[in-house]
Structure 1
Amino acid sequence: MITASELTKRYGDKTVVSDLTFTVRPGTVTGFLGPNGAGKSTTMRMILGLDAPTHGTATVGDRAYADHRAPLHEVGALLEARSVHPGRTAHHHLVALALTHGIPRSRVDHVLDLTGLTDVAGQRVKGFSLGMGQRLGIAAALLGDPATVILDEPVNGLDPEGVLWIRNLLKSLAAEGRTVFVSSHLMSEMALTAEHLIIIGRGRLLADTTVDTFVRESGAGTVKVVTPEAGLLAQLLAAPHVDVTSTTPGTLEVHGTDAEHIGRTAAAHNIPLFELTPHAASLEAAFMDLTRDSLEYAAHLEPA
């Protein structure tokens, strides 16, 4: 289990992580989401003792990472896949890690096979593609058969087969009762992989909930309405945070309110409805809706 309590990190007058409190529990894949610059990597670094918090604490298995006598047996982490001596082979890199923790060499062979690197184990890392480097980083994270796995953007550089592989791997690790904490910018992949979400923006906690609850309760869903009185109904639905658009005569797309409210409004004004269909939000839409005010780097498209 990972526990962050009032975790705060400042660099000079800039606060990168602010009063962050959450718990990552075993037996489930927990997605760690946030826009660029939200503080995800800094938070992971504080959990792993690579950065010292300005305030607050982070523990793994009820103790700080540095207090574990054999960390690789307790926590497996991937923060930067390319932090490997380029002259070493994949096999030698893993053997060197194993020797520091008394891990048998048979475990090296096991993780090489698990990550699909057996055939290239004798090659120097400098010749590895980004995807192969990611696989090696994951192999290193799993080397000590840890109870807790922390992965920062593990699907970077992986081909479709690799993405499917890491998805199934994360689910299987959680099913074994391990704590799995993984960050990603790929919302479609998180929707298929994670069960729980911790979302931050500008270093602050925005959501700590299940994927299903987050998507269901978000205001990012739309309702399709077909009516001969589309113009009148659009006027009646006008309200702060309600967006009504129409690309086809007689059809409305309503964002910001639910089908029940639309139906009651139409009934109160004797407006016939030919269709009233809610469309649930995707994880991506719900995430964008939640974090739109937390973007540190917002792009603006010029009109065509």
Structure 2
Amino acid sequence: MIEAHRLTKRYGEKTAVDGLDFTVRPGTVTGFLGPNGAGKSTTMRMIVGLDAPTSGSVRVNGRRYAEHRAPLQEVGALLEAKSIHPGRSAFNHLMALAHTHGIPRSRVEEVIGLTGLQSVAGKRAGAFSLGMGQRLGIAAALLGDPATVMLDEPVNGLDPEGVLWIRNLLTGLAEEGRTVFVSSHLMSEVALVADHLIVVGRGRLLADTTVQDLVRQAGGDAVHVATADPARLREVLAGPGVEITGRAGAEELLVTGLTAREIGLKAAEHSIALFELSTRTVSLEEAFMDLTRDAVEYHGTTTGTTGTTGTPTTTGIETSRSAA
């Protein structure tokens, strides 16, 4: 379990993390989301003691990371895949870590097999691709068989097979009762593996919720209805937990709290003609973008030039909102 209480980190006048309160519980995959510059990496660094909080505290399994006598067996972390001596082989890198905790060679060989590194275990890590470097970093995180696993952007550089492997690994670790805390910019992957979400923006907590609830709040369970008698349909559908929105006198309504099937059956029961009945689909990415719209620090800009279609082209330049 990871517990943060009023966790704050300042660098001079810059507040990178601003009073975060959250708990990452065992037996579930918790996604850690936020735009670039939101404070995710700084928060993870404070969890494992690489950065000291300016104020507040963070505990892993009831203690500060530095207070654990065998930290690799408490929390396994991947924060930077390339933080490996380039001249050392994958096997020797893992053995060096194992010696610090009395971990046997058999466990090193086990995690090498688990992460698919058998064919390159004797090669220098400096020659590894980004994907192989990720696998080695994950092997190091799993080396102590920790109760808590924390991975920062673990699918970076992985091919489709590797992404599927990570997905199965994370869900498997959670099913074993471990605490799994993972950051990612790939919303589609987070939607597939995460049960709970912690979303931050500009260092502050924006949401501590489930994937389903975040999507629901963004209108993910809403049903679009068009009818010639909206006033009567409102009366028919009204009830506990049902919310109906729409302009007065307009034929179109947005209904939450009822499925399209339930709405259709109630309308038919009262002989109310429907012109349209469709479920609005909102992805986790759309819900995330909606939630973090005012917390994005860097925005792409469009130039005045156009392509052959006359549509403005987007540059690769990022512009800081604070400087705009």
CA contact (8 A) 1:28 1:177 kept: yes
1:53-68 equivalences under 5 Å are 53-68=53-68
**1:293 aligned counterpart, secondary structure:** helix
**2:44 aligned counterpart, secondary structure:** helix
Q: State how far apart, in whole Å, the 1-side matches of 2:222 and 2:60 are.
A: 40
Q: CA deviation at 1:223?
A: 4.9
> What are the Cα deviations for residues 247-289 of structure 1, in whole angstroms up to 9, with x where unaligned?
xxx9x8x8xx53689x9xxx9xxx9641121223111111111
2:233 alignment counterpart:
none
CA contact (8 A) 2:220 2:280 kept: no
1:86 alignment counterpart:
86
- Check 1:260–1:124 CA distance in 2 against 1; reply closer, same or farther (3 A cut): closer
Q: State how far apart, in whole Å, the 2-side matches of 1:260 and 1:191 are.
A: 22
**1:299 aligned counterpart, secondary structure:** strand
**1:292 aligned counterpart, secondary structure:** helix
Q: One-letter code of the match for 1:155?
A: V
Gaps of 5+ in 2: 230-244, 304-310, 313-324
Query: In percent, how many aligned pairs have the same letter?
Result: 69
Residue 28 in 1 paired to residue 25 in 2?
Answer: no
Answer with 205-214 or 71-80: which moved more.
205-214
> What are the Cα deviations for residues 194-214 of structure 1, in whole angstroms up to 9, with x where unaligned?
000000011111111111121
2:316 alignment counterpart:
none
Gaps of 5+ in 1: 230-235, 245-249
CA contact (8 A) 2:221 2:256 kept: no
Q: One-letter code of the match for 1:59?
A: R
Q: State how far apart, in whole Å, the 1-side matches of 2:256 and 2:135 are.
A: 46
Q: State how far apart, in whole Å, the 2-side matches of 1:204 and 1:62 are.
A: 23
Q: For 2:255, which of 239, 243, 258 is the aligned residue?
A: 258
CA contact (8 A) 1:151 1:181 kept: yes
Number of paired residues? 279
CA contact (8 A) 1:115 1:139 kept: yes
1:61-210 equivalences under 5 Å are 61-210=61-210
Q: One-letter code of the match for 1:169?
A: L
1:216 alignment counterpart:
216
State the TM-score, normalized to the length of structure 2: 0.80
CA contact (8 A) 1:79 1:152 kept: yes
CA RMSD in angstroms comes to 2.5
> What are the Cα deviations for residues 60-105 of structure 1, in whole angstroms up to 9, with x where unaligned?
0000000001111111000001000000110000000000110000
| Larger RCO, structure (CA 8 Å, separation 6 or more) | 1
Answer with 218-227 or 61-70: which moved more.
218-227
1:9 alignment counterpart:
9
1:233 alignment counterpart:
none
Q: State how far apart, in whole Å, the 1-side matches of 2:257 and 2:179 are.
A: 40
Q: State how far apart, in whole Å, the 2-side matches of 1:238 and 1:152 are.
A: 44
> What are the Cα deviations for residues 103-131 of structure 1, in whole angstroms up to 9, with x where unaligned?
00000000000000011101111111100
CA contact (8 A) 1:152 1:182 kept: yes
CA contact (8 A) 2:4 2:58 kept: yes
Q: One-letter code of the match for 2:279?
A: P
> What are the Cα deviations for residues 122-171 of structure 1, in whole angstroms up to 9, with x where unaligned?
11111111000000000000000000000000000000000000000000
CA contact (8 A) 2:29 2:180 kept: yes
CA contact (8 A) 1:222 1:281 kept: no
1:293 alignment counterpart:
294
Q: State how far apart, in whole Å, the 1-side matches of 2:257 and 2:85 are.
A: 60
2:238 alignment counterpart:
none
Q: One-letter code of the match for 2:285?
A: E
State the TM-score, normalized to the length of structure 1: 0.85
Q: State how far apart, in whole Å, the 2-side matches of 1:132 and 1:260 are.
A: 46
